[in-house]
Every structure is written in C-alpha cells, then in structure tokens.
Amino acid sequence: MNRWSYIIMRVLQVIPTFFVVMALVFFMVRLLPGDPTSAILGERATEAMIARGNKELGLDKPLIVQFGVFVGHFFQGDLGDSINLKVPVFRLILERMPVTLFLTLYASVLAVLLAVPLSFVAALRRDTGIDSAIRGMFQIGLSMPVFYIGLQLLTILGARWRLFPIGGYGETFFEHLWYLFLPALTLGFNLAAILMRNLRAAILEVLQSEYVDFARAKGLRSSLILGKHVLRNAVISTVTLFGLNIGGLIGGAVITESVFAIPGVGRLMVDSIFGRDYPVIQGLTLTFAVLVSLTFILTDIVHAQLDPRVEVT
C-alpha cells in the first residue's frame, strides 16, 4: 500500500467515529436535565410558551428526526443560531477560530523551541546539576495550573514591568506575535514540560542504541551523530507526543483565552456556558472533535513519513 492510500484510509477510518461523536453530542445536549427552550425563555416561562418555543426550534419532533435534521444541517455548515448573539454559530466559530489556531500554533512553536534544546542539554549532561535544574523547572511547570502561570506572567511582565500588552489580539501578523507572546508562553510552557519529560528519555535511549555506537565507531563527528540520528528520533517522538496532547492544548487554550481576554473560540466556549447558549456549546464541542481528529490523522501521516519502521497497513 502506498502513502496516498494510507492517507485516504486513515481519513475514512475517522468517518464512523465521527458519526458516533455527532450522535453523542446531539443526544447529550438533549437528554441531560435543563432543556434549551426553558434556558432561552428564562425561569418565568409558562408551559404554553415552552411548547411554542419547542415547536419553533423543531424540538417537538421525534429525536431521531431531529438528529437527521441536525446531521443534514451540519454538512451544509449550519450549526444553528446562537441564542444570545443571534448570529449563525458557524460564522461565529469561523470568526473566532483563527485567533485560537494562531495561539495554539504559536504555543507549540515556543514549546518546541524550549523543550528540544533543553532536553538535549539535560540528556547530554545527565545526572548533573544542569540536568536536575532543567528537570526541576519543568516539574514545576507540570504542577502549576495554566491559569496561574498566565496570571503571574500577566501581572509581573504585563502590568508591573509593562513589557507586554495585557490583553487583546492586535491587527497585523506581527502585532499578533507581540500581543499573544505571554498567552502563547503560558500555554507553551505546559506543553514544553510534557515534551521535555519524554524527549529526555527518548534521547537517552537513542544515545545508548547500537546504531549510535556504530556511528561513533565509524568515527562520525558527534555533532553529525546528534543532528542526524538523535534529532531525527527526537522529532519523531515529539510529533507523536504533540498529537497525543493536542486535546490538552485546546483545553489549555480555553483557560488561557479566559485569563488574557483573547477573543478566540475558547473564551467563546466559557462565555456560552455562562450564557447557557446551547447551540454554541454544541457547535464548539463538535468543532473541537473535528480538530482533534484531523490532528490525529496529520500526526499519524507525519509519523509514517518520518519513521520508516511504521508499517502502513
């Protein structure tokens, strides 16, 4: 099987899972206590008002019919209208998504820039003071909540020393880089800690492998060994880890956007919860699920490209 059919097959594999995901989100919203109509109309709604509201929203039809309508609309890019903002959910998500994507990508880049060199240093200086210091720093990073790191950075670097803006997103690309630096660092630090922990172990393992011994025996320069053999393997495990942690990254984005008042989908999610805006919550949950599935596929493909040992079956 060649690479292309592998990619197509990987995409096809996701489709049934995704239908179940849609069904799950749909029925979860409808079966749990607290129905959308009473939420829209407020606590003082009468039975008659709720019945009329249900009819308007199509909630009086059998559940299975409602689900069919829901799936049909989904594939037309129609996720319903936001109750509070009175605009299509799809448009709302489309508007806010670039901010969140920018933030998460930025955070991932910062995480890699932090984790890769530091893991190399830690692994090469194994069991020295430097190693312990780096590991200690990241252990703290793993144990500290994202919102707390954000709050401290915001206060010290933003408000007290006025080095960075304390909110907003900016207009141009470079302004985005500037405005989102602290949020991306906040989010990236946590990911860096996860990457670092595994990368250090991966590098140590590679350093002790036979092919590195062989490369040394051949008399290759150590910079070449590190660059060609060790780095390649380190990158493979980083890609896999990144895929595994994309969910955590999105969750972290929800919190980071709330701390830094960034107008992305994460903040939209939290706002929608307090506004009991069910269509938005439902649309966002689905969108996040799509994003995670796509990332899984993407990391699998990149992994298969990088690592010749991966069997394409």
Residue numbers of the site for other proteins (CB under 8 A)? 17-18, 20-21, 24-25, 28-29, 32-34, 139-140, 142-148, 151-152, 154-155, 159-160, 246-252, 254-255, 258, 269-270, 272-274, 276, 281, 284-285, 288-289, 292-293, 296
The two tokens of residue 287 are: 């969108």
* Closer to other proteins by Cβ: residue 240 or 272: 272
Task: Provide the minimum distance between the beta carbon of 85 and other proteins in the complex, in angstroms, as a whole number.
Answer: 16
What 3 state SS string does the chain have?
CCHHHHHHHHHHHHHHHHHHHHHHHHHHHHHCCCCHHHHHHCCCCCHHHHHHHHHHHCCCCCHHHHHHHHHHHHHCCCCCECCCCCCEHHHHHHHHHHHHHHHHHHHHHHHHHHHHHHHHHHHHCCCCHHHHHHHHHHHHHHHCCHHHHHHHHHHHHHHHCCCCCCCCCCCCHHHHHHHCHHHHHHHHHHHHHHHHHHHHHHHHHHHCCHHHHHHHHCCCCHHHHHHHHHHHHHHHHHHHHHHHHHHHHHHHHHHHHHHHCCCCHHHHHHHHHHCCCHHHHHHHHHHHHHHHHHHHHHHHHHHHHHCCCCCCC
* Closer to other proteins by Cβ: residue 229 or 267: 267
* Closer to other proteins by Cβ: residue 6 or 147: 147
Task: Provide the minimum distance between the beta carbon of 288 and other proteins in the complex, in angstroms, as a whole number.
Answer: 5
* Closer to other proteins by Cβ: residue 42 or 308: 42
Task: Provide the minimum distance between the beta carbon of 15 and other proteins in the complex, in angstroms, as a whole number.
Answer: 12
Please provide residue 102's backbone torsions phi and psi, each rounded to the nearest 5 degrees. Answer: -60, -50
Task: Provide the minimum distance between the beta carbon of 55 and other proteins in the complex, in angstroms, as a whole number.
Answer: 23
> Please, what is the Cα angle at 213 between 207 and 215, to 5 degrees?
105
Task: Provide the minimum distance between the beta carbon of 133 and other proteins in the complex, in angstroms, as a whole number.
Answer: 15
* Closer to other proteins by Cβ: residue 199 or 253: 253
Task: Provide the minimum distance between the beta carbon of 27 and other proteins in the complex, in angstroms, as a whole number.
Answer: 11
Task: Provide the minimum distance between the beta carbon of 194 and other proteins in the complex, in angstroms, as a whole number.
Answer: 12
* Closer to other proteins by Cβ: residue 142 or 177: 142
Task: Provide the minimum distance between the beta carbon of 148 and other proteins in the complex, in angstroms, as a whole number.
Answer: 4
* Closer to other proteins by Cβ: residue 233 or 256: 256
Which are the contacts of 237, defined by CB distance < 8 A and separation ≥ 6?
198, 199, 202
* Closer to other proteins by Cβ: residue 26 or 233: 26
